[in-house]
Amino acid sequence: MTAPATNLQKTDAPVVASVRDLRVHFKSKAGIVHAVDGVDFDVRDGETLGLVGETGCGKSVTARSFLRLVPMPPGIPVSGSIMFHPRQRCTACDGAGCVACDHTGRVVSTCPACSGTGCSTCEQTGAETLDLLTIPERDLRSIRGNRIAMIFQDPGKALNPALSIRKQVAEVFYAHRSDELLASAGIDPSSHSLPTGLLRRRATQQSRTLENVLLSLPPLRSRRSAITAAADDRVAAALAETQIPNPRAVMDRYPHELSGGMKQRVMIALALACDPDLLIADEPTTALDVTVQARIIELIKELQQRHKTAVVYISHDLSLVRRVADRTAVMYAGRIVEVGDSEQIFHEPEHPYTRGLIDAIPGAHHERGRLAAIEGTVPELIDPDPSCRFAGRCDFAAEVCWTRDPALEPVGDRQVACFIHHPPEHGEAPTFDRTAR
């Protein structure tokens, strides 16, 4: 499969989210684990950004940080920001796509502090800017599952075994689309009468036992059923979008009654239900059968294009990421070591670690049979010294690599963190010529 032709246009697409100097550590008996230790990258509107790296390098922690799902404790939030620019439905075309919204159907929400003229909160962009790591819990909840959604590695674990598929998908609509549900049920959401209050609490899942009793009796009963029916319609439509056959029947099933691929489709339906700006897919096919993997990948791509959603696609498989991602960020031991266009990275890797990864793919660059695995193991992430994290496994490491930390800096269209590309101010720079092989 070749790279999507849209690659080059995507370079100047607006940024949906930018991660800056993200550091998340963990307290452990042996010391502080620097699981994510200074990660920087941008996700652009509508693109797929691949995040690759070996197991334990901090991919999931980075992903979970977007929605503040890293357990704290043991996690320690050290520093960093994740600036998110939410979008809203384009009013000119009502989401159909027009020139004003660049055919995405969505436009950037304007900064409420300056109404779009540019101020310090939005860094003069005029776009609404939220730091996901610091906004209040309430605001974060309205983003979770709505503007930013997440798919997990194992759908068997991410679905609640005790609740039907219907209930689990409907929850998203109750959480973020209660006004629409009320409107579909023929109830004026802006009314302040007591029955509407009760129904609104029902549509936002706040009803307590006593209220539920009231709602199950006439005269509220029929309107309550209308809300449920409105939610059911949306659940069925969301499931149908992921090509689940016979969605109305699947709705009444429980997770254990579905296959792994089916469960992941449910997770995808759930994630895309509210048309998010950003979808974070943490190894969405790793737990699935090989035969199912390809179909799930295709489905994510297809839905992404239809919804114009930006995707962060996490995987430890570089050749898979090359297929799905427009751009790729390579992660090593809690850091991003190289970011850029997927094809470019694949054909001319700049960072020694990326080179090693590509060499390790059978038949990628070499004659058949040549398999070059990277020697050595990932370094201890516990209280690391200031040095290049890769120095212990790097064929080109020089003196400086052991005493200084290379920063992620531009190299052509790309960014690379290696002294070969950015010679240090003092000391001899490493070069690709000085191979130890």
Ligand X SMILES: Nc1ncnc2c1ncn2[C@@H]1O[C@H](COP(=O)(O)OP(=O)(O)OP(=O)(O)O)[C@@H](O)[C@H]1O
315 binds Mg ion, rule: CB under 5 A: no
Q: 409-411 and 414-416: which strand pairing?
A: antiparallel
Smallest gap, in angstroms, from Cβ of residue 432 to ligand SF4? Answer: 9
Which DSSP string corresponds to 5-47?
A: TTHHHHTTSPEEEEEEEEEEEEEETTEEEEEEEEEEEEEETT-
Task: Return the range that interacts with Zn ion (CB under 5 A); candidates 103-111, 140-148, 182-190, 243-251.
Answer: 103-111
Residue 105 has a CB neighbour count (10 Å cut-off) of 19
In the list Mg ion, other proteins, ligand X, none, the entry touching 25 (Cβ below 5 to 8 angstroms by class) is: none
56 binds ligand X, rule: CB under 6 A: yes
- Per the structure block, which two tokens stand in for 410? 């531009």
Restricting to residues 255-284, name those near other proteins by CB under 8 A.
256, 267, 270
In the list ligand X, ligand SF4, other proteins, none, the entry touching 430 (Cβ below 5 to 8 angstroms by class) is: ligand SF4
Binder of ligand X out of 1, 12, 30, 55 (CB under 6 A): 55
d(CA 262, CA 245): 10
Smallest gap, in angstroms, from Cβ of residue 340 to ligand X? Answer: 20
Smallest gap, in angstroms, from Cβ of residue 57 to other proteins? Answer: 20
* 64-99 b/e (C-beta count within 10 Å ≥ 16 → b): bbbbbbbeeeebbeeebebbbbbbeebeebeeebee
183 binds Zn ion, rule: CB under 5 A: no
Binder of Zn ion out of 113, 163, 175, 214 (CB under 5 A): 113
Restricting to residues 332-371, name those near ligand SF4 by CB under 6 A.
352
Which C-beta is closer to Zn ion: that of 75 or that of 105?
105
Q: Name the burial class of residue 208, with classes exposed (0-12), middle (13-18) and buried (19+) by CB atoms within 10 angstroms of its CB.
A: exposed
Residues 6+ apart with CB under 8 A from 357: 52, 318, 330, 349, 374
Task: Identify whether the C-beta of residue 332 lies closer than 8 Å to the C-beta of residue 54.
Answer: yes
Task: Identify whether the C-beta of residue 184 lies closer than 8 Å to the C-beta of residue 253.
Answer: no
In the list ligand X, other proteins, ligand SF4, none, the entry touching 67 (Cβ below 5 to 8 angstroms by class) is: other proteins
State residue 229 phi and psi, 5-degree precision.
-65, -40
Binder of other proteins out of 103, 157, 306, 347 (CB under 8 A): 157
183 binds other proteins, rule: CB under 8 A: no
Binder of ligand X out of 31, 74, 363, 376 (CB under 6 A): 74
Task: Return the range that interacts with ligand X (CB under 6 A); candidates 50-58, 156-164, 185-193, 360-368.
Answer: 50-58
Binder of Zn ion out of 3, 119, 220, 361 (CB under 5 A): 119
Binder of ligand X out of 13, 22, 52, 61 (CB under 6 A): 61
The DSSP element (H or E) to which 311 belongs, if any, is strand 310-315
Of 38, 13, 27, the C-alpha closest to 333 is 38
Smallest gap, in angstroms, from Cβ of residue 340 to Mg ion? Answer: 22
Task: Identify whether the C-beta of residue 400 lies closer than 8 Å to the C-beta of residue 430.
Answer: yes
Q: What does the per-residue mask of binding to other proteins show for 84-123, with x meaning CB under 8 A? A: ----------------------------------------
- Per the structure block, which two tokens stand in for 379? 């370094």
Of 437, 268, 414, the C-alpha closest to 350 is 414
60 binds Mg ion, rule: CB under 5 A: yes
141 binds other proteins, rule: CB under 8 A: yes
d(CA 129, CA 123): 8
Q: Name the burial class of residue 140, with classes exposed (0-12), middle (13-18) and buried (19+) by CB atoms within 10 angstroms of its CB.
A: middle
Which C-beta is closer to ligand SF4: that of 118 or that of 423?
423
Smallest gap, in angstroms, from Cβ of residue 357 to ligand SF4? Answer: 12
Smallest gap, in angstroms, from Cβ of residue 126 to ligand X? Answer: 34
Give the binding-site size for Zn ion (rule: CB under 5 A): 11
Residues 6+ apart with CB under 8 A from 399: 427, 428
Smallest gap, in angstroms, from Cβ of residue 99 to Zn ion? Answer: 7
Task: Identify whether the C-beta of residue 420 lies closer than 8 Å to the C-beta of residue 435.
Answer: no
324 binds other proteins, rule: CB under 8 A: no
Which C-beta is closer to ligand X: that of 215 or that of 314?
314
d(CA 325, CA 57): 19
Name the site residues for ligand SF4 (rule: CB under 6 A).
352, 388, 390-391, 394, 396-397, 401, 406, 418-420, 430
Residues that bind ligand X (CB under 6 A): 26, 33, 35, 53, 55-61, 71, 74, 316
Chain residues binding other proteins by CB under 8 A are 64, 67, 69, 141-146, 149-150, 152, 154, 157-163, 171-172, 175-176, 205, 254, 256, 267, 270
